[in-house]
Amino acid sequence: MGPQADWPAALRGAIDLILPSQAQIVLFWGPQFVAFYNDAYAPTIGAKHPAAMGRPAVEHWGELWDDLHSLLHRVLARGETVAARDRPFQINRHGHLEQVFFDISYSPIREADARVAGVLCVVSETTDRVRAAQALAASEVHLRELHEQGRMAQEAGGVNVFQLDIQRDCVYASPGFCRLFGLPEQAVIPSSQIEALRAPHDPLDPGDEMSTHVERLSGDAPLVVEFPILRANDGARRWVARRAEIVRDEQGRPVLMRGVVQDVTERHASRRALEALNATLEQRVEQRTRERDRLWRLATDVMVITRLDGRVEAVNPAWHALLGWSEDEMVGRPILELVAPEDRQFSAVQLDRMAEGQVLTRFENRWLHKDGSQRTLSWSAVPHEGFIHAVGRDVTAARESEQRLRHSQKMEAIGQLTGGIAHDFNNMLQGITGALEVMRRRVAKGQVDDLQRFMDSATQSASRAASLVQRLLAFSRRQSLDLRAVDVNALIGSMEELMTRTLGEQIRLQLHLAEDARAAFGDESQLESAILNLAINARDAMPHGGELHLSTSNVQLGEAEVRHIDGLRPGPYLAIAVRDTGTGMPADVLAQAFDPFFTTKPLGQGTGLGLSMIYGFAQQAGGHARIDSAPGQGTTVTLLLPHAPEADALPVAPATPAQPSALPQGQGEVVLVVEDDPGVRLLVLELLHEMGYATLQAADGRAALPILRSDTRIDLLVSDVGLPGVNGRQLAEIARLHRPELRVLFMTGYSEYATHRAQFLGPGMEMISKPFRVDEIAHRIRDMLSPARAISATR
C-alpha cells in the first residue's frame, strides 16, 4: 500500500471509522482486496489474526476464496450492495474446516471520482444461533414424527401409549411407556408410582409453565405438556412430552385419558441453550447500546443521522452545545437549512454523493449558529441501510488561525512588494531625472549636439517604468483588460514563427492544439504576452536544449475542483498548457513562483513580476493559473480561461502595421481635453495644436460641464477616467445628454471602474492606457475623427 501519507483519502477515512467501532467490520481495499479490520472482527477469523492484517485476502481466506471472491467482485466491479442473514461459509480458523454462519452487509467504498475502490463488510457471527435453531427445528420434526408414531402405535397397541383410568387412579401402560419411565414392564401401574418419579423443577431451568402431573389432568387441562422425571431404574433426569385426549361419560365427566409419551430431553436442552444464547445476545446488545448511547450523549463532536434526502432523524446533545439547536428543533428538518448559504450548493453535491453510496471524509463547510454566527465543521460520514451516519468536528479556531497566518504571510509579501517597487522605481526615476539634469546643463551651455543619447536613455527608463506599472496592475488584477472572445489556436499559430526564433535552435517547439478547442474569454494582447513570457521562461530553464510543448484543451471544472480556488467558478474552461523538459523547480521555489519580485535569475536579468503578472491576468479574466514542477522533471504552467459564448468568437486580428513617423494632421476639429494632471494636460494640448486641432480644456469634470452644456462646437472629448468629483465615465454620460453622438476617448493610468473595457465603454467610446506614445494617441484621435468613423456632433 505504500506510506500511509500516500493512501487515498477514502481509505484513510474508512479506516478511521471502523477502528473504534464495536461492530465486526473488515475492509477489503483495491483489486487485491487488501484486508483491514478492527478488534471486534479479529475473533471471527481465529488463528488467521494477526497475519491477515494488511495482506491480500486470497492469502488467508484461501479455503473459501471462490465463495468470498464472488461476493467481493459484485461490490467492487458493479458497485452493488450485498446483504444476507445467516449466510453459511466454510472456514478454517482453528486448525480444521468448519461451517459458520454470518449476518453480512457488503457495501462499496468510493473515491472522490466515484470509482469503487474498496468493500466495507459489516458482519455478525450467528453460528450458535443457527445451530440452536436447527437443533430445535430437528427436535420439533422428531416430536411430530413421534406423535404420529404414537398415534399409530396406540391404534395398534404400540410401544409408548398409555390410558389413565381416572376413577380407579391407575394407568394401563405399554412396554414402551414403562421403559421411558424406567419401570418394570407391567400392564397396570398405580398413578402414585408415576407421580413419585416426577422431578422438582430446577430454578435455573423452570421448564414449561403448562407442565402438570398426569393424574391431575382434568377436562380443562392442556392436552400437550412437558415435565421432568427421575427415571426409576437409574435416576437419570429426563424431560417427557405427553399428548393425550379425554374420554367423557354420558354426563360429560372425564373418565379416561389416553395418549402417548415421548422423551424430549435433547430438544428441551437445545431450546434452553437457544434461550440462553438469546439472553446473552440481548445482554450484549444492551451493553453495546448503552456504550453507544453514552458516547452519543457525552461526545463533544456533533453526531447526526439523516435519511438519504438529508432530513434529520437524530442528533446528539453536542449540537445544542456547539450550535445552539435543540434536538426538537433539528429532528425532521432538512439538514441543508442549517448550512451557511454560501456553502449550501457544494454541501448538496456531497449529500448526493453519499446517497449514491460514497463514504465522505474530511469534508468542511460552515454552519449557522442559532445566534446568527457561523462555525466551521470537518465531517466524516458513511451511508448505511438507507441512512447517513455523520460525525463533525469543530475546526473554527484552527481555520481562524490559518487565516491569521495567511494574513501575516500576505503582509510579509506586501512588504517585499513595496521594497521591490521602491528599488526598481528609484532606478528608473534616476535614469529619467539624471538624463534631464544633464540635458538642462548642456542646453544652458549651448551644447545641444549630443543630447539624443540622453533623451533615448530617459525614454528607455520611462518605458521600463510604464512596463513595471502594467505588470503591477496585472498582478493586482486591476489592469484595463479588453475582454472578448479569443481564438487561442489561431493566436498560437500566428505566434509560432516568433516563438521559434525566440527559443533558438536548441529547443524544439511542439504544438498540440485541440481541434475542438472553444474560444476563450480574455484579453488577446495580454494572453499573447503571457504565452511569450512563459516560452522565454521555459527557454531559460533549458540551457542545454530540450522541447517546449504548447497545448490547448477543453476542460470542465466541477464544484470539487474549484472549492479551494478563490474566485473560480464551476463550468467549462479552455486550458492552455506550456510544458518544458528543463531543470524543474524544488518545492520551496515552486511555493513562491507566483510571488511578486521573486526570481531565480541573476541580478539585472528579471524583475520577478512575469509569473505574478500572468497569474493576475488569469484571475482578472475569471480563470486561474497553476504550476506543476519537480527537479529534473521539467515544468508545466497551465492557464485556465473561461469559454466565450459561441456567438462572440472572433478571428485573431492581424498584426498592427508600424505607424509612420509623421503625425497625422487634423482639419480644424475642436477637441475638449479634461485632465487633472497639469503636465499631461499640457502635453495633450501641445500635441493637438501641433496636429492642427482647435482645443478646449478643463482641469476636472465640474469645470468641463458648463463647456459641454454650451453651444460651443466639440468634435471629440478626451478625458481622464480618474477625475476628482465627477469621474470621466460620468462626465461622458452627462455630455451625451446634450450631445448624443459625441465621441469620447478615455485616458487611464488606472481605474477600478475601467478594468474590463467591454463593460466600461459605451457606443462611440474608446480607451488608451497611460503612459502612451505620442504617435499612438495621435493616430487614435485621427482615426476617431476620420470621415469613415466620425459621426455628426451636436453643436
Which tens digit of pLDDT belongs to each residue from 53-64? 999 999 999 999
pLDDT tens digits for 282-337?
A: 666 666 667 777 778 878 889 999 999 999 999 999 999 899 999 899 999 999 99
Strand partners, 25: 122
Q: Which residue has the cell 474530511?
A: 362
Strands 312-315 and 360-368: unpaired
**Across the strands, what pairs with 696?**
672
The identity of residue 434, as a single letter, is G
Q: How far is the C-alpha of 553 from the C-alpha of 573, rounded, in Å?
A: 9
Alpha-carbon span 731 to 700, nearest angstrom: 9
Report the run of H or E that residue 525 belongs to, with start and end.
helix 524-540
Residue range 164-172: mean pLDDT, rounded: 82
In the block, residue with C-alpha cell 454552519: 367
CA dist 684 and 691 (Å) reads: 11
Could you tell me the CA-to-CA distances from 38 to 18, 286, 635, 698 in Å, in that order?
6, 21, 44, 82
At residue 215, the pLDDT reads 39
Q: What is the pLDDT of residue 335?
A: 92
Rounded Cα gap, residues 144 and 139, in angstroms: 8
What kind and span of H or E run contains 576? strand 571-580
Helix (H/G/I), strand (E/B), else coil: 374 = strand
Q: Which three cell numbers stand for residue 683?
A: 502635453
Of the candidates 15, 127, 122, the one whose C-alpha atom is nearest the C-alpha of residue 75 is: 122
Enter the C-alpha cell of residue 603.
541580478
Confidence of residue 506 (pLDDT cuts 50, 70, 90): confident
* 43: amino acid identity, one letter: P
Q: Is the peptide bond before 88 cis (omega within 30 degrees of 0)?
A: no
Amino acid 202: pLDDT? 61
Rounded CA-CA distance 238/262 in Å is 10
Task: Dump pLDDT digits (tens) for 82-124.
Answer: 999 999 999 999 889 999 999 999 999 999 888 999 999 999 9
Residue 611 and residue 591 in contact, taking contact as beta carbons nearer than 8 Å: no
Residues pairing with 394 in the sheet: 377
Pairing mode, strands 374-384 and 360-368: antiparallel
The mean pLDDT value for 495-517 works out to 86
Q: Say how far apart CA 120 and CA 137 lie, in whole Å.
A: 34
Cβ contacts of 704 within 8 Å, gap of 6 or more? 672, 674, 698, 719, 731
**Domains of the chain, first to last:** 4-125 (3.30.450.20), 131-271 (3.30.450.20), 299-394 (3.30.450.20), 399-475 (1.10.287), 484-648 (3.30.565.10), 670-784 (3.40.50.2300)
The answer to whether 709 touches 738, Cβ cutoff 8 Å, is: yes
Q: Quick count: other Cβ atoms within 10 Å of Cβ 228?
A: 20
245 pLDDT above the threshold of 60: yes
Q: 114-166: per-residue pLDDT in tens? A: 899 999 999 999 998 888 787 666 555 544 544 444 454 444 344 577 888 88
The neighbouring-strand residues paired with 89 are 100
Q: Alpha carbon of 41 to those of 124, 126, 567: distances in Å?
A: 9, 13, 47
For 427-545, strand residue ranges (E) read: 484-486, 507-513, 520-522
Q: How far apart are the C-alpha atoms of 241 and 210, rounded to whole Å?
A: 11
> What pLDDT is stored for residue 533 in this prediction?
83
Look at residue 543 in the predicted model and tell me its pLDDT.
86
d(CA 613, CA 487) in angstroms, rounded, equals: 21
- pLDDT at residue 472, as a whole number: 57
- Which residue did the predictor score with more confidence, 407 or 72? 72
- For the ranges 17-31, 377-391, 570-584, 756-770, the lowest mean pLDDT is seen at 756-770
User: And the C-alpha cell for 722?
Assistant: 480618474
Q: For residue 169, what pLDDT is reported?
A: 83
Which of 466 and 703 is assigned the larger pLDDT? 703
**For helices 524-540 and 610-620, angle between their N-to-C axes, nearest 10 degrees:** 150
CA-CA distance, 105 to 776, in Å (whole number)? 76
Q: Which residues contact 233 (CB under 8 A, 6 or more apart)?
A: 182, 183
Higher pLDDT, 36 or 430: 36
Cross-strand pairs, 574: 554, 641
Sort 475 into a burial class: Cβ within 10 Å, 0-12 / 13-18 / 19+.
buried
DSSP alpha helix (H) spans, 79-163: 127-155
Residue found under cell 494488511: 54
Comparing CA positions, the residue from 611, 613, 595 lying closest to residue 475 is 613
Q: In 212-316, where do the E strands start and end?
A: 224-230, 237-248, 254-263, 302-307, 312-315
Integer CA distances (angstroms), 768 to 89, 273, 532, in order? 81, 95, 23
pLDDT of residue 650: 46
| Structure-block grid coordinates of residue 326 | 435543540
CA-closest candidate to residue 267, choices 226, 297, 304? 226
**CA distances for 265 relative to 181, 199, 281, angstroms:** 13, 13, 24
Beta bridge partners of 239: 228
Say how far apart CA 768 and CA 791 lie, in whole Å. Answer: 20
So what's the pLDDT on residue 212?
39
Q: Which residue has the higher pLDDT, 318 or 243?
A: 318
**Low-confidence winner among 140-149, 626-635, 686-695 (lowest mean pLDDT):** 140-149
Buried residues in 275-288 as b, exposed as e (16+ CB within 10 A): eebeeeeeeeeeee
Lowest-pLDDT range of 359-373, 491-505, 549-563, 653-667: 653-667
Mean pLDDT of all residues belonging to the chain: 80
Chain mean position to CA 683? 57
Query: Average pLDDT, stretch 579-591?
Result: 85
pLDDT range class, residue 649, cuts 50, 70, 90: very low
Q: Angle between the 452-475 and 396-444 helix axes, to the nearest 10 degrees?
A: 170
Pairing of strands 716-720, 670-674: parallel
The model's confidence at residue 577, banded by pLDDT at 50, 70 and 90, is very high
Q: For residues 602 and 591, is the Cβ–Cβ distance under 8 A?
A: no
H or E element in which residue 92 lies: strand 82-92
Euclidean distance between the first and the last CA atom of the chain, given in angstroms as a whole number: 82
- Do 494 and 652 touch, CB atoms closer than 8 A? yes
